[in-house]
Amino acid sequence: MQSSMRMRAALGGAVLGLLAVFAGPGSTASAEPSDTTVGEVTAFAADGAVYQLTAGRAEARVSFVSDETFRIELAPDGRFTDPTGQDVVLPQGPPPTTHWADRGDRYELSTSRVTLRAYKSPLRFAAVRADGTPLWSETQGLTWNQDRTTQTLARGAAEQFYGAGMQNGRGNTSHRGKTVEVGVDYNWNDGGHPNSVPFYLSSAGYGVYRNTYAPNTYVFGEPVTATAREQRFDAYYFAGDGQDALKDVIGQYTRLTGKPFLPPVYGLEIGDADCYLHNANRGERHTLDALKVADGYVQHDMPNGWMLVNDGYGCGYENLAEAAQGLQARGTQLGLWTEDGLDKLAEQVRAGQRVAKLDVAWVGDGYKFALDGCKGAYAGIEANSAARGFTWAPESWSGAQRCGVQWSGDQSGTWEYIRWQIPTYAGAAMSGLAYTTGDVDGIFGGSPKTYTRDLQWKMFLPVTMTMDGWAAQDKQPFRHGEPYTSINRASLKLHEALLPYIYSHAQQATKTGLGLARPLVVEYPDDPVAASDAAKYEFLSGQDFLVAPVYQDAVERDGIYLPKGTWIDYWNGRTYEGPVTLDHYSAPLDTLPLFVRAGAAVPLWPGGIRSYTDRRPGDPIAWDVYPQGRSSFDLYEDDGVTREHRTGRSTTQRAEVRAPQRGAGDVTVRIGAAEGDYTGKAAARPYRFTVHTGDAPGGVTLGGRALPRFTSKAAFEAAEQGWWYDREDRGGVVQVRTAAQPTDRGFTLVLTNTSAVGGAVPGAPATLAVPAGQELGAGVPGTVAVDVTAGTRDATGVEVTLSAPAGWQAAPAAPIARIPAGTTRRVQVAVTPARDAAPGETPLTATVRHRAAGVDRTATQRFAVGVMPEPPTAPAWASDLVWLKSTNGWGPPERDRSNGESGAADGHPLTLAGTTYAKGVGAHADSDIEVYLGGRCTAFTADVGIDDEINGYGDVAFSVEADGKVLWTSPRLTGASATLPVNVDVTGARHVHLRITDTNGTKSGDHGDWAAARFDCA
């Protein structure tokens, strides 16, 4: 398959180059060597902040780096070595003041913040804070053999562990009880660990960085064992403190190994990669053809920050300077894949290259070569232009966070791909990797739905890209047509609007080491659910957004955990009080489950711009405010592209919000002066505010002067400044606009007699829910049920309407005079889909207008109904029916062909045990094909097995399910199994699923055929 071909070219050299790293010094293929444990301390010496302990032939050395950070080294043969040299650890300045004491059974080596106990007989270490609070302790002394060195630590009763870099499918919840590998395995899928980092941290408030290039294995059992495959021990320890101990440890680790770099602003926009010169998969093309693709982004009004124009083995390029100029004219920067190494980088940068993707360039002598490649490409861009270094790499090590984006490699677009990537990137933040991502919908396979869902949530990562030319269809966000193009545009535009928020977090990462995407446990360390698998498939984007991606072919999302506090549904303004778990959250294809923390003040670029190049000095800044208590946000700005910010050329502007903690009161928003200066800073600019109050204010003042109130959106938008209350928008928001305000001084906005988010009477508004699974026929009159639940006050004058696509008809439901507080009323709304409505899910919006607690209110709910095709009225082949769903383990399932590669109709004739079939379905585990029978069929027949093209491989089971019940399941079938006939009674079934599941965990060669698959219908 193409995935194998693409990786094989890289792996040949890489495996040879990294063999020494895997083996470690003195390794052998013989029987397991015996371990030696360090013995009694026989000598002790102190030299400032460095302490040496002798234990027979072995030597240990303790060096304090800061008041909270220290290093322990052990040389079994008495000779200290450091293979990393100056590659990873940066100069740290003068060491702290330390002191030591002999306590009889131990030496105590101390700073003002931490004490390291070195027990004498035998040598064993333990660390405590200055107040005696334990951090960690060895259960036995350091051990070694010719292949490895191991530290063994006691595990606390509730201690949780995180880190180890990019761990595919893991990392944003605890590693407790698990074994975690750190090192190259060339597995870029679930369970792999590209971009490994030999660093972990504990909820007990400490972290450990193993200073080595050797592979590591961490077993977070009882006890904890941390092993590196080398006969030396070298580790740095970080002692965090207080509520933010995890953040503190990440900060200390990145102070040692380097803070994340600050990307150029175009690097935070989506990137696009393809081979344009003589592309083997796309036919004869030229580098300048990239400009036509860039035009596609412009024509579809979609952001596109940069393009790799040579992303293919042997691709090369031509007309480089002309290509760079053409892209820049379209608001896009030129990137190149460093297939040929870095020798030509200077020339390429002078021609206009601003992005370097590392791949073949990192194949060499292990991680040192990878790290050198990252640093070399980053420095090469800066040495030959005024731009900032910006690189991408699929395999890296500690220290790479200071020069590049860590990317998880080549994968195939599936629902499973989305699922395991969610914890991957948030979890990587626990190792100081601030910029981690994967290709949108993978490099192979994919579908319109998986692309749309994958792009949605990746817009809340700081970086991402599409990679084209390897799947059957290119991966630009406009390739699948409607409705996908419009949904994808909205996702991209939301990311673009959020760039002030994202860029401010990027700058914070240069100070703290913590990236935008992060696990819940970082912000809620005392919440045990945040550390558990209950929070595995969600993450925080900064402090203010909680993202719970949809990773199944579904229109609802279960198991969304909201931690303590008030959370607001971003789309409809509904409030939730955490901790709470939400099931059946309505999430049609155009809706990402997204929640905002109460108290948030989010800076935005208004206006729906396509590119950062559309911004001009003096353009407005918008603030999206969710008032609750006292909160603030620091907006960071600089010129976005040059390195002037490193000399202080930047500004910081603080927004401070003061509001009631709950219920009625005034809301004050103070926008401070933009402190600092940079090229392009505006002397004055207007502002826009969206303040989520749920109740109209009595008035709004700017600098103590009343702003005019408008009663319509049109009048408001036409005015230079003023306000209006929009009850139709997300539960009720106050919109404010100001004339240009000087940036060198602050101003205050006051909303009087309004409320905190949630309204003056919290819980008073009614809420909406729409039962799942509702179906309509194209052009056929039907009804949609909507449940209206009154809040803490009666809902009166209740009117329910539906918004539907063009060509649909939806009549308002009969008004309801009153729904008592806390009760639910089901309302039936008459709906007729358009005659040409496409089968499948169609998003609709339900709206309830009502009065509660003396205020006119509006609540909305986005949901999906199923439009069903006409059911069969005669015998029908499964391959001829409309497929409502068609998920597949590799590429799309095929009609009347075997599964093939990653494109549609690229399979071969269906063949089982030498028999070729003209009709049937070719799929790859795990697959699920859904058809609609409408109760008109009685039997399903087929021959099933693994297609002959696999030559004996594969290991699967087939099943037929109807309306939620399993009707038939095959035994396990392999490529050597005989063809199995199927005859299943489907009488009365409306929805039938044909599933193939993997049965041995490898999903290798699982090409299952539903040959001659047919329904008997009348």
DSSP letters spanning 519-579: -HHHH-TT-GGGGSGGGTT-EEETTTEEE----SS-SEE--EEEEEEEEEETTT--EEEEE
Residue 339 confidence class, pLDDT cut points 50, 70, 90? confident
Give the whole-angstrom CA distance, residue 104 versus residue 331: 69
Least confident of 257-271, 761-775, 901-915, 963-977: 901-915
| Helix intervals (H) in 406-481 | 415-428, 448-458
- Residue reference for tokens 């026989």: 42
CA nearest to 619, candidates 672, 685, 680? 685
Q: Give the per-residue SS3 of 170-230.
A: CCCCCCCCCEEEECCCCCCCCCCCCCEEEEEEECCCEEEEECCCCCEEEEECCCEEEEECC
| Per-residue pLDDT tens over the stretch 686-724 | 999 999 999 999 999 999 999 999 999 999 999 999 999
> Distance (Å, rounded) from C-alpha 341 to C-alpha 337?
9
Average pLDDT over residues 803-820: 96
Q: For 934-988, write each residue's pLDDT tens digit.
A: 999 999 999 999 999 988 889 999 999 999 999 999 999 999 999 999 999 999 9
Can you name the residues that pair with 144 across neighbouring β-strands? 36, 149
In Å, the largest CA–CA distance within the chain is 93
pLDDT of residue 4: 32
CA 87 to CA 850: how far, in whole Å? 65
The tokens of 725 are what? 């209350």
Task: Check whether 379 has a pLDDT greater than 80.
Answer: yes
Q: What is the mean pLDDT of the chain?
A: 93
**774-786 pLDDT per residue, tens:** 999 999 999 999 9
| Reported pTM | 0.94
CA 593 to centroid of chain Cα atoms: 13
DSSP state for residue 33 in the 8-state scheme: P
Please check the confidence at residue 481 and state whether its pLDDT lies above 80: yes
Query: Which stretch of 190-199, 248-257, 625-634 has the lowest confidence by average pLDDT?
Result: 190-199
Torsion of CA 344, 350, 351, 357, to 10 degrees: 50
Do the Cβ atoms of 928 and 885 come closer than 8 Å?
yes
Return the pLDDT at 902: 64
Check whether 725 has a pLDDT greater than 50: yes
pLDDT in tens, 196-240: 999 999 999 999 999 999 999 999 999 999 999 999 999 999 999
Structure tokens, 793: 């006050």
What angle (nearest 5°) sits at the alpha carbon of residue 787, between those of residues 781 and 790?
A: 145
pLDDT band (50, 70, 90) for residue 361: low
* Per-residue pLDDT at 365: 56
Q: Which residues of 172-209 are buried (b: 16+ CB within 10 A; e: fewer)?
A: bbbbbeeebbbbbeeebbeebbbbbbbbbbbbbbbbbb
Please determine, for residue 147, whether its predicted confidence score (pLDDT) is greater than 90.
Answer: yes
User: Does residue 336 contact residue 355 with C-beta atoms inside 8 Å?
Assistant: yes
Res 23: pLDDT: 32
Tens of pLDDT, residue by residue over 308-322, are 999 988 899 999 999
Closest Cα partner for 191 from 169, 215, 174? 169
Per-residue pLDDT tens over the stretch 54-90 = 999 999 999 999 999 999 999 999 999 999 999 999 9
Q: Which amino acid is at 82?
A: D
Least reliable range by pLDDT among 384-388, 406-410, 995-999: 406-410
